[in-house]
Amino acid sequence: SLTIGIVGLPNVGKSTLFNALTKNDVLAANYPFATIEPNIGVVGVPDARLARLAEVFGSQRVMPATVDFVDIAGIVRGASEGEGLGNKFLANIRESDAICQVIRAFHDENVVHVDGKVSPKSDIETIDTELMLADLQTIEKVLPRLQKEARVKKDKQPMVRAVEEAKAILEDGRTLFSAGIAQGTERAEPLHELHLLTVKPFLYVFNVDEDELTDEAFKAEQRALVAPAEAIFLNAKLEADLAELDEEEALELLQTVGQTEPGLATLAGVGFDTLGLQTYLTAGPKEARAWTIKKGATAPEAAGVIHTDFQKGFIKAEVISFDDLIDAGSVAEARSRGKARMEGKDYIMRDGDVVEFRFNV
Ligand code: GDP
C-alpha cells in the first residue's frame, strides 16, 4: 500500500507525533492478525458516513480506510551529500509515496532548536534544499549520458527536455511538485525512471502552540509558505495525550482548545487525499466498510480491492449513492425509488458510492 514518509529537523516533535500515530493504531483494533511494524503508524481516515451505514444495515462494526505513515529519521543539513545516515534517509524517502514535513512552530525554552531559533520558514527551506540538492545530483549524474543518447535516438529527446526543465526549476530553488510536475501527472512521466524526490506530493504539519491552533492569521501565513501543498496544524504533545483517552474524554479536551477532531484525524484525511486516493463503501450485517481505491478507478478495479476474483469475474456493480440510501432508509426502498444503478465495467467510481458487486465465480 501507499505510504507517507514523515521527515523533519531534530527536536521538532516527530517522535512525539509518531508515538501518537502508533497509539492510535486502528490496525490493532480492526485487523488483529496484521503484523505491525515499529516504524509504521496506521491511522484510520475519519468518515462519519460509516456509522450512518452501520445503522441502516445493522452492521456489527465499522472499518475505516487507513493511511500508513513511515517514520524517516535523520534529516540533517548535508544529507544530500550522502554521508552515512544521509544515504539511508534519502533511500527511505525514495520509497515513500508522499513526504510529510513536520515543522516546529511551538515555543519552549527547554527544547533546543538546532538553528537556535523557531522559524518555520527557514526550517522548510533547509529541508526543501536538501531534497532539491539530492535531485540535482541525480540529474547531473545522468544528464550527459542522456543528451548523448538523444543525439542518435530521437525518441529520447522528450525525456532530455523534461530533465533539462526539471534541472532549471531545481536550480531556481523550487521543488518539482510546487512547479506543477507532480508524480502521477503527465509532466512527471518522462522523469519516472530517475526516481526523483521532489516530484512526490508534499504536505506540512506545523507543530504549534495550543493558542496558535485557533490563530487564523498565523495559519494563513504558514499556509502561504507551503502552497500548493496542504498544511495541517496540531500540537504533538496534545495529540499524544489524546491518543491515551477514550472518545468522549478526547472530545472534551479538544473543546478546551477550540477543536472538533484530533489533528491526527485531519492529517489522515489530508494524507489520504494527497496520495490520490478515494473510497467507496460497502455494508452488511457484519461490517460497514470504506475500501481504498485510486481516484479514477473503474468498477472492476474497485472490485479487485476486495478480492482479485471479484475483478476477474466482474459482471456489474449495483451502486446507490450514500445520500440516496440514507434518504431511502434501506436498499429495498432505494431500489423501489429507482435510485439503485447497475453499472458496467467502464464505470468510474465516485466518492460516496455504496456498492454491491455481481460477479461470476
Ligand atoms: P524529534 O527529534 O523531532 O523526534 O522531537 P521529539 O518528539 O523527540 O520532541 C523533542 C522535544 O520537544 C521533546 O522534549 C518533546 O517533549 C518536545 N515537544 C514535542 N512536541 C511539543 C509541543 O507541541 N510543544 C512543546 N512545548 N514541546 C514539544
Question: Averaged over 312-323, what is the pLDDT?
Answer: 96
> What pLDDT, on the 0 to 100 scale, is given for residue 114?
77
Residue 38 has pLDDT above 80, yes or no: no
User: Is 11 near ligand 1, meaning CB less than 6 Å away?
Assistant: yes
Q: Which of 354, 353, 357 is nearest to 314 (CA)?
A: 357
Q: What are phi and psi of 57, to 5 degrees?
A: -95, -5
The 3-state secondary structure of 94-139 reads HHCCEEEEEEECCCCCCCCCCCCCCCHHHHHHHHHHHHHHHHHHHH
Q: What is the pLDDT of residues 231-260, one digit of tens each?
A: 999 999 999 999 889 889 999 999 999 999
Q: CATH for 296-359?
A: 3.10.20.30
Contact 105, 118 (CB under 8 A): yes
Contact 92, 134 (CB under 8 A): no
Q: What is the pLDDT of residues 192-237, one digit of tens each?
A: 999 999 999 999 999 999 999 999 999 999 999 999 899 999 999 9
Residue nearest to atom 20 of ligand 1 (CA): 13
> What pLDDT, on the 0 to 100 scale, is given for residue 34?
52
> What pLDDT, on the 0 to 100 scale, is given for residue 87?
74
Question: Averaged over 313-327, what is the pLDDT?
Answer: 97
Using most ligand atoms within 8 A of CB, pick from 11, 21, 238 the residue to mutate for ligand 1: 11
Mean pLDDT taken over the chain = 91
- Give the Cα separation of 97 and 89 in Å (integer): 14
User: In this prediction, does ipTM exceed 0.90?
Assistant: yes
> Which long-range contacts (C-beta less than 8 Å, at least 24 apart) are formed by 321-327?
321/350, 321/352, 321/353, 321/354, 322/49, 322/52, 322/53, 322/281, 322/352, 322/353, 322/354, 323/352, 325/53, 325/56, 325/354, 326/52, 326/56
Residue nearest to atom 7 of ligand 1 (CA): 13
Residue 162 — very low, low, confident or very high, per pLDDT cuts 50/70/90? Answer: very high
Residue 1 has pLDDT above 60, yes or no: yes
User: Is 10 near ligand 1, meaning CB less than 6 Å away?
Assistant: yes
**Sequence-distant (≥ 6) Cβ neighbours of residue 282 within 8 angstroms:** 288, 289, 291, 306, 354, 355, 356
> What pLDDT, on the 0 to 100 scale, is given for residue 113?
81
User: Coil, strand or helix: which one is 265?
Assistant: helix
User: Is 111 near ligand 1, meaning CB less than 6 Å away?
Assistant: yes
Using most ligand atoms within 8 A of CB, pick from 23, 107, 108, 208 the residue to mutate for ligand 1: 108
How much is the pTM? 0.89
Contact 82, 106 (CB under 8 A): no
Using most ligand atoms within 8 A of CB, pick from 237, 238, 242 the residue to mutate for ligand 1: 237
Question: Averaged over 169-176, what is the pLDDT?
Answer: 96
Separation of 106 CA from ligand 1 center, angstroms? 9
Q: What is the pLDDT of residues 336-357, one digit of tens each?
A: 999 999 999 999 999 999 999 9
User: Is 212 near ligand 1, meaning CB less than 6 Å away?
Assistant: no
Residue 42 — very low, low, confident or very high, per pLDDT cuts 50/70/90? Answer: confident
Separation of 130 CA from ligand 1 center, angstroms? 22
CA 87 to chain centre: 24
> What pLDDT, on the 0 to 100 scale, is given for residue 26?
57
Cα 230–Cα 232–Cα 237 angle in degrees, nearest 5: 155
Separation of 19 CA from ligand 1 center, angstroms? 11
- Give the Cα separation of 22 and 69 in Å (integer): 9
Write out the DSSP string of 197-231: STTS-EEEEEE--GGGGG-HHHHHHHHHHHTTSEE
User: Is 44 near ligand 1, meaning CB less than 6 Å away?
Assistant: no
- Residue 66, marked binder: no
Going by the DSSP 8-state scheme, the letter that residue 316 receives in this structure is E
H/E run at residue 308: helix 308-312
> What pLDDT, on the 0 to 100 scale, is given for residue 89?
81
> What pLDDT, on the 0 to 100 scale, is given for residue 247?
86
> What pLDDT, on the 0 to 100 scale, is given for residue 84?
52
> What pLDDT, on the 0 to 100 scale, is given for residue 110?
87
Residue 176 — very low, low, confident or very high, per pLDDT cuts 50/70/90? Answer: very high
Structural domain spans, the chain: 296-359
Q: Length of the chain in residues, anyone?
A: 361
β partners of residue 69: 4, 41
Measured from the Cβ of residue 148, the count of other Cβ atoms closer than 10 Å reads 12
Q: What is the pLDDT of residues 49-95, one digit of tens each?
A: 999 999 999 999 999 999 999 988 766 666 666 555 567 788 889 99
> What pLDDT, on the 0 to 100 scale, is given for residue 30?
54
Q: Which of 351, 300, 355 is nearest to 325 (CA)?
A: 355
Residue 119 has pLDDT above 60, yes or no: yes
Residue 28 has pLDDT above 60, yes or no: no
